[in-house]
C-alpha cells in the first residue's frame, strides 16, 4: 500500500487483497458444458444435426418436442424422436464462421427470414413506389453511404418494407435529408 493510502485510510486494491469469490467464473478455467442433452438441457440457439447430413439450430425446446430450424424449414420433433438429434455446439459457443455466437447467428437468420417475408408480401401501387422502396433498401445496407443513412439504416429499411409503421417525423426528416445531402440518393 502506498504511503498516501496509509495516511488517508484507503483500502488496498483488490489485486492486493484476496481474490473475489466470482473471479474463477471469468478466468481461463471455465467449465465446458457437456454436449449430451441428458446432462445439459437443450437451449435456443444450440447447433444440432440429425445423422450428420444436415445442421440446424434449436428454436425452442419443451418436454413434449424440440423445434429445429433446418436449412429449408422448421421441424417439430416429438420427444420420442429427440434421441436422433445430436448437439454439435452450445448456443453461447462460437458459430461456424467464428464471428458470432450460435444464438446470434440464429437471430440473424430469423431476422433475414422476416425481412424476406415482408419484401414478398409488400404490395406496391406503382413502379415509382417500388423504385423508391428499392432505393431505401440500397441506402439502408450501403457500406459507402452518408453518415445519416448509416445512423438511420433501420428506419430506412422499415420505410421500404413497412412504411405504415414509420412515423411521420422520420419521413419528413428523410425527405429533408434527401434534398440537402451531398450524396446522390
Q: Does residue 47 carry a pLDDT above 60?
A: yes
In a domain? residue 1: no
The answer to whether residue 64 is domain-embedded is: yes
Per-residue b/e over 8-20, b at no fewer than 16 CB within 10 Å? eeeeeeeeeeeee
- Residue 39: per-residue pLDDT: 85
Confidence of residue 2 (pLDDT cuts 50, 70, 90): very low
Domain range spanning residue 147?
126-180
Task: Say if residue 133 is in the same domain as residue 172.
Answer: yes
- Calculate the dihedral angle through the C-alpha atoms of 7, 9, 12, 17, rounding to the nearest 10 degrees: 130
User: What is the average pLDDT across 62-69?
Assistant: 94
The residue ranges of DSSP E strands in 20-95, in sequence order, are 47-50, 54-61, 65-69, 74-78, 85-89
**In the chain, what is the greatest distance between 2 CA atoms, to the nearest angstrom?**
79
Can you tell me the distance from the alpha carbon of 114 to that of 150, in angstroms, rounded to the nearest whole number? 21
Q: What is the mean pLDDT of residues 7-35?
A: 51
Instruction: Compute the mean pLDDT over every residue in the chain, rounded to the nearest whole number.
Output: 83
Domains in the chain, number: 2
Is 105 contained in some domain?
yes
Residue 94 sits in the same domain as residue 136: no
Phi, psi (deg, nearest 5) at residue 179: -70, -40
Residue 174 lies in a domain: yes
Indicate whether 130 and 170 sit together in one domain. yes
> Percent of the chain at pLDDT above 70?
83
In a domain, 166, yes or no: yes
Residues 89 and 64 placed together within one structural domain of the fold: yes
Q: Model confidence at 21, in pLDDT bands (50, 70, 90)?
A: very low
Under the banding of pLDDT at 50, 70 and 90, the label for residue 59 is very high
Tell me, yes or no, whether 56 lies in a domain. Answer: yes
Domain membership flag for residue 137: yes
pTM for the structure as a whole? 0.64
Question: In the predicted model, is pLDDT for residue 149 greater than 70?
Answer: yes
Give domain status of residue 176, yes or no: yes
pLDDT tens column, 75-129: 999 999 998 999 999 999 888 778 899 999 999 899 889 888 888 888 989 999 9
Amino acid at each position: 500500500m502506498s504511503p498516501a493510502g496509509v495516511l488517508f485510510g484507503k483500502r488496498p486494491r483488490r489485486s492486493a487483497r484476496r481474490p473475489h469469490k466470482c473471479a474463477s467464473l471469468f478466468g481461463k478455467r471455465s467449465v465446458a458444458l457437456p454436449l449430451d442433452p441428458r446432462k445439459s438441457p437443450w437451449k435456443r440457439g444450440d447447433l444440432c444435426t440429425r445423422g450428420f447430413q444436415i445442421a440446424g439450430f434449436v428454436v425452442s425446446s419443451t418436454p413434449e418436442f424440440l423445434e429445429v430450424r433446418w436449412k429449408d424449414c422448421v421441424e417439430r420433433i416429438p420427444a420420442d424422436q429427440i434421441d436422433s438429434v445430436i448437439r454439435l455446439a452450445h448456443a453461447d459457443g462460437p458459430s461456424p464462421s467464428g464471428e458470432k455466437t450460435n444464438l446470434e447467428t440464429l437471430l440473424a437468420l430469423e431476422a433475414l427470414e422476416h425481412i424476406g417475408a415482408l419484401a414478398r408480401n409488400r404490395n406496391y401501387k406503382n413502379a415509382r413506389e417500388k423504385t423508391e422502396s428499392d432505393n431505401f433498401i440500397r441506402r439502408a445496407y450501403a457500406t459507402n453511404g452518408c453518415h445519416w443513412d448509416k445512423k438511420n439504416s433501420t428506419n430506412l429499411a422499415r420505410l421500404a418494407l413497412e412504411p405504415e409503421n414509420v412515423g411521420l417525423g422520420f419521413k419528413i426528416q428523410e425527405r429533408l435529408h434527401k434534398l440537402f445531402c451531398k450524396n446522390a440518393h
